[in-house]
Amino acid sequence: MRILVVEDDAQLAQQIMTALQAQQYVVDWAQDGLQAHYMGSVEAIDAVILDIGLPELDGLTVLKRWRDEGLTMPILMLTARDRWHEKVQAIDAGADDYLTKPFHMQELLARLRALLRRLAGQASAELRCGALTLDTRQARFSYAGELLHLTSYEFKVLSYLMHHAEQIVSRSTLNEHIYAQDQDRDSNTIDVFIGRLRKKIPAQTIETVRGQG
């Protein structure tokens, strides 16, 4: 799953990105509102962590523009402790949740997981597809109770498919969601990752629909 972090404080942004990457998320970073608006509008983003206080364009304006453009990705707003009115404005403008600074990183991760679960139509922290289970809290897969040992990209591919179970996902879509903006993307590698996954779980768990995904 691909997350856009919008935070002008480089140290805090790095802490957030490190925590997200440790949970196998793909992470992009925008340092100001104009850059954030552009990236959110043109890139395949699954969720956004958006600070309100940004240079160039404030977070509330970015949020409103995205919603006016019909973009529906979940957005977790970061707000200052004493700006309660901004929280109300953010929710009214289309934010899905907010977190007050300073915050514990584990709470941010938990709130993000909840947003992504709702996006997938799931209520539990564990996503299941037959005997295959993704524990989103621990960022690990198991099959029939046995832990699966996956590479980083195998995890990203399988996680995206699990969050979109029963849907046809194209190779191009997978490419857009398992690589950050500054990474080279090669659609041929998707077939490699799928082939490896089918050796670690029953092949029929991942179904190929010819010509579609």
pTM of the predicted model as reported, rounded to 2 decimal places: 0.87
DSSP state of 148: P
Under 8 Å between Cβ of 115 and 96: yes
**Do 114 and 174 share a structural domain?**
no
Residue where a domain terminates, one of 70, 94, 119: 119
Give me the pLDDT at residue 185, please. 67
Under 8 Å between Cβ of 178 and 162: no
Return the CATH number at 174.
Answer: 1.10.10.10
Give me the pLDDT at residue 184, please. 67
Mean pLDDT, the chain, integer? 91
Report the distance separating Cα 59 and Cα 95, nearest Å.
10
Residue where a domain terminates, one of 119, 148, 178: 119
Domain count, the chain: 2
pLDDT per residue as tens digits for the range 145-186: 999 999 999 999 999 999 988 889 988 888 889 888 777 666
Give me the pLDDT at residue 99, please. 93
Report, as an integer, the average pLDDT of 87-107: 92
Q: How many CB atoms lie within 10 A of CB 186?
A: 10
The CB-based long-range contact list for 203-211 (8 Å cut-off, 24+ gap) reads: 205/129, 205/130, 205/132, 206/161, 209/168
